[in-house]
Structure 1
Amino acid sequence: MKVFKNGNLMVVTDDRGIIDCEYEKAAGLYLEDTRFISRMILKSSHKLRRLHTDFSWDRIETHYLGRSKPGIPHYDIAVSECLRAEGNALQAELTVRSYSLEEVRISFEYDIICVFEDIFSVRKKNDSYNELESSRTLSSSPPRSFQYETDLERDTVENSLTSLSLEVRPGQIERVSGKLRLGKYVKKDVVFKKMLSERPVKDIAPIKKTSLLDERELGDLKMLMIPTVYGDFPGAGLPWFATVFGRDSLIFGLQTVDLLPEITRNILTVHTHLQSKEEDSQTEAQPGKIVHETRLNELSLAGRLPFERYYGSIDATLLFIMLSHRYYSQTNDWNFIRSIKNSIMAAAKWIDTYADLDNDGYIEFAPSGTGLSIQSWKDSADSVSFSDGRLAEPPLAPVEVQGYLYDAFNCLEKLMTLFEDGESAAVYALKAAALKENFNRDFWLESEDYFATALDKNKKPVDSITSNPGHCLMTGIVNEDRAKALVNRLFSEELYTGWGIRTLSSKMKRYNPFSYHNGSVWPHDNSLIMLGLIKYGFCEKARQLARDLLKVKDKHHDNRLPELFSGLSVSETSGKLIEYPTSCSPQLWSIGTVLVISKALDA
């Protein structure tokens, strides 16, 4: 599968660059969580031989050879087809060069199939999504305009690719072009939809400091960008997560705020406008809470899925506070921080009012809607288990989230001082100190010399050995006298593969190196651990981890750091990287990981 995108239009092809769902199930043209077109194949009056396709972040260019007349011994026509995403449109340009001794008349058309299909149906995440028709073929080779309409939305295709003919004189080059313009018009008041802009994305400001981010990753980052009226916002991953995700974008901000402050500002701005102002148990919304996910697919707009604006994330609000302060620390942009003060205060009030379900000083989650049952970063239903494989029951207090809470308290102390509220600043300083003391007592597993991955509904430590406690180093919540034991365990054979740190120890009952969260390796997970290693002075360990992740990038089939990969060790695979089959590529916080690797190598 290959993907290119610029703006809101995303195109998925097979590995050869062919847009046809017969060859690649996900192939097609997508806009705002809907597949509009599942086939777009070039047809010609002359038989053409396909040579190769060049891929870029916003376009593909395919090259062909043909004969001006049947039966002549040599190819004498060269054709190139450039498909370029731009805002909400796909531009198609055909270039013909003739080496014939006579004038060549050549015509083209596109075999296009329109299907207006929910992205969840395409992905088939689970059986409930199959209630939507798996394919809705509405037009083959549509006329100049076509639309599909329901009570909720109107989807349109405007087609100017219906007449593409050229007359090319000997030795000359001629071009012809047209476009497909897609449109989605939502008939209800949707905050996210009103934010979107139909323009192409803007260039990314040059990164001033030396980094490993090459032109490929910069292209990937531009591909992920979603144009909004508040600036370009980075989507989470392609092809399935080309939308706003709270945790993903905020962690990317933490990874890159020192190098990409303008993007960080856009991230914070968009989240202030999506921040909840009401309670809704179906969508897990609470006043002050930062959004987990936004969607414009048919199932979500109809309320059959809760993801139109979904808040089932226990950590995004904490990450928002952390990133707000880090942005100010890097930029001294007082005017911006003052402009989002109300959102920061609302996020702080959410912590005080809603986050601690039983007033024990820890943040827990207990799902109330039909969305995610696990609302921390490892959001698979089976990701929080005891060492013997039993699933922990909610309310759950994840270990890394308490670290984020500690960090957020410290950030709020500094922000309240900035806002000239000394009384509140003192309160948050006391809360941070108390949390650190209690955390190092309640989450520490004496028998394991390690931290529990969570506390369950009975406040029992969940004793599985995971990567999650590694995040706590970044936040500073780990007592100095326990940091070395934590780091030693992270780099032990049960967690360290030689490529990176596993999500779950190989000694645990639920360990599976091919699972999503129970034994795989996630680069972003490792990047947050790297930041913590640097913070606590374990710089050589940070460099070791950075070097090993670079090996992953070098061995990955498209030279990217993937979303995740198999947790099999280097020795188990004789040095062969085993990829995860449905990993997003490109993926936002894996791009951010490359920048963290740069910092670790310089540590």
Structure 2
Amino acid sequence: MGAHESTRHAEPGSERRPRSDAGTGERSPSERQERKKKVLTQGTSSMAQSIADAIVLKQGGVFLVTEQGGAIPLRGEHGFGLYYHDCRFLNGYTVELDGVRPEVLASTAEADHAGVFRLANPRILMREGHIMSEHDVGLRWERVIDADATAVHENITVHNYARSAVDLEVKLTFRAEFEDVYAVRGLMPEALGKHHAPAASDEELRFSYDGADGLQRAVTIRWGCRPDAIDGTSALFRVRLPPGHSQPISLVISLSESSGGTPADRPAPSCSGADVAAAKRRGEERLAAQVQERAHVETDSLLVNRVLARSFADLLLLRTPLDHDTFFAAGVPWFTALFGRDSLITALEVLPYQQTVAVDTLRLLARFQARERDPWRDEQPGKILHELRVGELARVGEIPETPYYGSVDTTALFLILMARHAAWTGRLDVFHELRENVDAALGWLSSPEAHPEINGYLAYDSTSKSGLVNQGWKDSGDGIVDEEGQIAEPPIALVEVQAYVYLAKSELSDLFERAGEAETAARLRREAADLKERFDRDFWLPERGVYALALVAGGHRAAVCSSNAGHALWAGIADPSRARTCAERLLSESMYSGWGIRTLAADEKAYNPMSYHRGTVWPHDNALIAAGLRRYGLDREARTVFGGIVRAAMHYRMYRLPELFCGFPRAEHGAPVRYPVACHPQAWAAGAVPYMLASLLGLEPEGFERRLRVVRPILPRLVRRATVRGLAVADGRVDLEFRKRRGDAVEVDVLRVEGDVDVVVEER
């Protein structure tokens, strides 16, 4: 990459330095082997402390991850903190009462941007020698994220519930080290720039850092009322309260970035209880406007309703702006960034309810589509990105995510979302707008010069020194294995990638036909049909009753039973004669934990129920498989998958499905076993239950015909009635009600039709 191209993918107004290595960035065969041995695992880290019970607040690009009581530990390696632009600005923040941490009573974070924590004093030996009984003093700690001001407003109200006056010290202590998210995860060295000594006064406490990327980052804490003392990075407030009285402590935490050594020219937000309320109100208004954009679902099951409500709330939380578009950030805290695969699959899951983010996602990914060959970033022309980072390590070129293109499946998923969006909207405008990007993506899929192939199948083999060893959705270094339990040797042609290519070409052919390009449409159909025929011959494992995980170096099959095979059902590439056998294997005891389908069968040699990709359960994986089961008429099996995932959600705080959970059998544990550093909320996990429900209801759009087909609708076992309001098809909207009759039969009532759209119900 030439120097003149160094800012091509940088944020507007920023500059990104060339990467630090002076060579090509290409990985030699010996380096590939060494990289493979290290088993770099996407999504795991060296964190010693679990974030499974973390409280998450987010608005726009600012997010906060805390312990249950609202604090950020001052010591130890952990993932808690206040983050912005791939940097953890604040990595410590505690509250103490007379030198003692208060007890946590409750924490609420129902809204994405606001939370309330209830704390109380433990039994305290006061400095005067007397003992304060437990729970004499209560704290109500309210915080609101204001993304427009890049700030967090806070109000800590201290209340005396004792029958006598109290006199105590409230101590707020902060720590800021400005770590890049890769350093937080333990994947890269510590920060490269210069930390300045904290500057404290009775008006504010300021931390600042001069990054190696030329940006000065700062955290400024301003007090609503002056502290009684400042001790290093602690502010001390003396609280004297008669019985039944309260005292507020207000503050605002501001984040800033500036270049050229000049402090950011931004007015300081004020801090008071009124400012907290105003910031909260603005956030609620923003949320209300976004809620109006989507269809609404309600059932007669309290559990399903709560899981759906949490899912949609998390999807709103994860909507993140980039320039004038928004996308679903992959997950908090590790992947709050634009990820091609995650953002695309989440947009696909949400399409039945909301189509706006899909358009934004397509435009963003088209803007960053690869235009040249760069081994450092696994970039080839036409490829859709894997990951875009904007932090210090990316800006100085220490990591290739600027963006990085090491995904073998995102390009096909980009085309699938394009086609599915058109099917719902009945319009070709996005297809025409991004036509050059569509052609480039198809060119990459069909070019053996652009990527490795095995027997004509799309494969991968990263050459980047810092790239991912595995480049499908199971992108951990040990995620793809063979029947002997050994890590598979690249190049690797994954089963689901071939399925995605088939689906992309099949569905795009219709758009080309409608655009008057019959020859291109016919060619794509021929290529899809040829792929389907070869696929069944080369991937089916008759002795195991499932499709192979992959073809690997030398054309050998990775003859293991994995969840990847279920994606072949989702895409429709599976031969109908294989579908039931494949489904039986996926729902067998070795694959189905009782909570969901495992990523790898328990009878495989590489199985580990605690491994990121070799035995855990991923909600989005199950959602795609459930939709695939429905495609082949396997309704009972699809409903089983839905039920398992919903029951799992019941055991998580606020019914929030995490990125993944461990694959231990349900019979052994009364609740799913948590994966300690899983992202939550996580985008495609949040989209899983809404997507599965739409699939069970049989919603199949034919927007160009201004028609919605409701095909073989079924309801989950927990549900006898479901209502969908505001379902957008073409230029119309539809309200539907689904009711169980005898047995599993479902009756569909069309409650309302707005605009020119027809509803056709196709029962069994």
TM over 0.5: yes
Q: Is the 8 A contact 1:114 1:138 kept in 2?
A: no
Compute the displacement of 1:438 (Å): 0.8
* Alignment match, 1:210: 297
1:478 to 571, 574, 582: 574
Question: Is 1:111 paired with 2:149?
Answer: no
The whole-number CA distance in structure 2 between the counterparts of 1:96 and 1:37 is 24
Per-residue Cα deviation, 1:295-337 (whole angstroms, up to 9, x for no partner): 1232222222212311100000100100011011112243333
Compute the displacement of 1:157 (Å): 2.2
Compute the displacement of 1:559 (Å): 2.8
Greater displacement, 405-414 / 1-10: 1-10
Per-residue Cα deviation, 1:192-219 (whole angstroms, up to 9, x for no partner): xxxxxxx979423344242545443333
Greater displacement, 506-515 / 320-329: 506-515
Percent identity (aligned): 32
Question: Is 1:384 paired with 2:490?
Answer: no
* Alignment match, 2:416: 322
2:563 to 464, 467, 471: 467
Unaligned runs of 5+ in 2: 1-50, 228-238, 261-281, 299-303, 698-713, 715-764
* Alignment match, 1:191: none
* Alignment match, 1:350: 444
Which secondary structure does the structure 2 equivalent of 1:178 belong to?
A: strand
* Alignment match, 2:39: none
Compute the displacement of 1:235 (Å): 0.9
Q: Residue 521 and residue 146 in structure 1: after superposition, are their counterparts in 2 closer, same or farther (change >3 A)? A: closer
Alignment of 1:564-603 (within 5 A): 564-571=660-667, 573-602=668-697, 603=714
Per-residue Cα deviation, 1:243-296 (whole angstroms, up to 9, x for no partner): 111111111122121112122222222212222222211001122211101112
The whole-number CA distance in structure 1 between the counterparts of 2:591 and 2:343 is 27
Per-residue Cα deviation, 1:2-44 (whole angstroms, up to 9, x for no partner): 2221122221212222122337722321111111112223467
Q: Residue 342 and residue 177 in structure 1: after superposition, are their counterparts in 2 closer, same or farther (change >3 A)? A: farther
The whole-number CA distance in structure 1 between the counterparts of 2:100 and 2:496 is 60
Question: Is 1:5 paired with 2:66?
Answer: no
The whole-number CA distance in structure 1 between the counterparts of 2:423 and 2:94 is 51
The whole-number CA distance in structure 2 between the counterparts of 1:139 and 1:219 is 37
The whole-number CA distance in structure 1 between the counterparts of 2:488 and 2:94 is 50
Code of the aligned partner of 2:141: E
Which secondary structure does the structure 2 equivalent of 1:439 belong to?
A: helix
Compute the TM-score of the two structures, normalised by the length of structure 2.
0.70
Question: Is 1:83 paired with 2:143?
Answer: yes
* Alignment match, 2:323: 229
Question: Is 1:429 paired with 2:525?
Answer: yes
Code of the aligned partner of 1:157: V
Compute the displacement of 1:589 (Å): 0.8
* Alignment match, 1:180: 253
* Alignment match, 1:139: 198
The whole-number CA distance in structure 1 between the counterparts of 2:527 and 2:383 is 20
The whole-number CA distance in structure 2 between the counterparts of 1:297 and 1:439 is 41
The whole-number CA distance in structure 1 between the counterparts of 2:335 and 2:407 is 16
Greater displacement, 521-530 / 94-103: 94-103
Code of the aligned partner of 2:472: S
Q: Residue 479 and residue 10 in structure 1: after superposition, are their counterparts in 2 closer, same or farther (change >3 A)? A: same
Compute the displacement of 1:158 (Å): 3.2
Q: Residue 533 and residue 214 in structure 1: after superposition, are their counterparts in 2 closer, same or farther (change >3 A)? A: closer
Compute the displacement of 1:229 (Å): 2.7
2:209 to 148, 151, 158: 148
Q: Is the 8 A contact 2:370 2:383 kept in 1?
A: yes
Q: Is the 8 A contact 2:82 2:90 kept in 1?
A: yes
Per-residue Cα deviation, 1:47-96 (whole angstroms, up to 9, x for no partner): 996563423132332345689x9879999876533121121211112446
The whole-number CA distance in structure 2 between the counterparts of 1:41 and 1:465 is 47
1:510 to 571, 587, 606: 606
Q: Residue 421 and residue 91 in structure 1: after superposition, are their counterparts in 2 closer, same or farther (change >3 A)? A: same
Question: Is 1:123 paired with 2:185?
Answer: yes
Query: Number of residues paired by the alignment?
Result: 589
Q: Residue 228 and residue 281 in structure 1: after superposition, are their counterparts in 2 closer, same or farther (change >3 A)? A: same
* Alignment match, 1:396: 492
Q: Is the 8 A contact 1:117 1:134 kept in 2?
A: no
* Alignment match, 1:291: 385
Which secondary structure does the structure 2 equivalent of 1:555 belong to?
A: coil
The whole-number CA distance in structure 1 between the counterparts of 2:527 and 2:100 is 73
Question: Is 1:552 paired with 2:639?
Answer: no
Which secondary structure does the structure 1 equivalent of 2:177 belong to?
A: strand
Unaligned runs of 5+ in 1: 188-198
The whole-number CA distance in structure 2 between the counterparts of 1:80 and 1:164 is 20
Alignment of 1:536-547 (within 5 A): 536-547=632-643
Which secondary structure does the structure 2 equivalent of 1:115 belong to?
A: coil
Give the superposed CA RMSD.
3.4
Code of the aligned partner of 2:335: F
Greater displacement, 162-171 / 425-434: 162-171
Per-residue Cα deviation, 1:497-534 (whole angstroms, up to 9, x for no partner): 22211111222111111111111111111111001011
Per-residue Cα deviation, 1:401-446 (whole angstroms, up to 9, x for no partner): 0000000111221222233222211111111111111111111223
Code of the aligned partner of 2:317: M
Question: Is 1:497 paired with 2:593?
Answer: yes
Q: Is the 8 A contact 1:55 1:61 kept in 2?
A: yes
The whole-number CA distance in structure 2 between the counterparts of 1:477 and 1:44 is 63
Q: Is the 8 A contact 1:113 1:140 kept in 2?
A: no
Q: Is the 8 A contact 2:428 2:511 kept in 1?
A: no
* Alignment match, 1:194: none
Code of the aligned partner of 2:219: V
Alignment of 1:54-93 (within 5 A): 54-56=107-109, 57-63=112-118, 79-87=139-147, 88-93=150-155
* Alignment match, 1:276: 370
Per-residue Cα deviation, 1:515-567 (whole angstroms, up to 9, x for no partner): 11111111111111001011111011100111111111112355322211222
Q: Is the 8 A contact 2:222 2:252 kept in 1?
A: yes
* Alignment match, 1:38: 91
Q: Residue 162 and residue 358 in structure 1: after superposition, are their counterparts in 2 closer, same or farther (change >3 A)? A: same
Per-residue Cα deviation, 1:98-133 (whole angstroms, up to 9, x for no partner): 7899999999774222211122222214xxx23557
* Alignment match, 1:190: none
Q: Residue 117 and residue 46 in structure 1: after superposition, are their counterparts in 2 closer, same or farther (change >3 A)? A: closer
Q: Is the 8 A contact 1:355 1:363 kept in 2?
A: no
Code of the aligned partner of 1:259: Y
Which secondary structure does the structure 2 equivalent of 1:160 belong to?
A: strand
Alignment of 1:449-460 (within 5 A): 449-460=545-556
The whole-number CA distance in structure 2 between the counterparts of 1:102 and 1:514 is 52
The whole-number CA distance in structure 2 between the counterparts of 1:16 and 1:100 is 22
* Alignment match, 1:367: 462
Q: Residue 442 and residue 15 in structure 1: after superposition, are their counterparts in 2 closer, same or farther (change >3 A)? A: same
Question: Is 1:405 paired with 2:501?
Answer: yes
Question: Is 1:21 paired with 2:81?
Answer: no
Which secondary structure does the structure 1 equivalent of 2:486 belong to?
A: coil
Compute the displacement of 1:454 (Å): 0.9
The whole-number CA distance in structure 1 between the counterparts of 2:406 and 2:184 is 23
1:240 to 306, 312, 334: 334
Q: Is the 8 A contact 2:196 2:208 kept in 1?
A: no
Compute the displacement of 1:379 (Å): 0.9
The whole-number CA distance in structure 2 between the counterparts of 1:462 and 1:73 is 65
Q: Which has the higher contact order (CA 8 A, sep 6+)?
A: 2
Code of the aligned partner of 2:210: E
Compute the displacement of 1:484 (Å): 1.5
Compute the displacement of 1:97 (Å): 6.2
Q: Is the 8 A contact 1:109 1:161 kept in 2?
A: no
Compute the displacement of 1:377 (Å): 0.8
Per-residue Cα deviation, 1:153-185 (whole angstroms, up to 9, x for no partner): 221223322744799999887756432211234
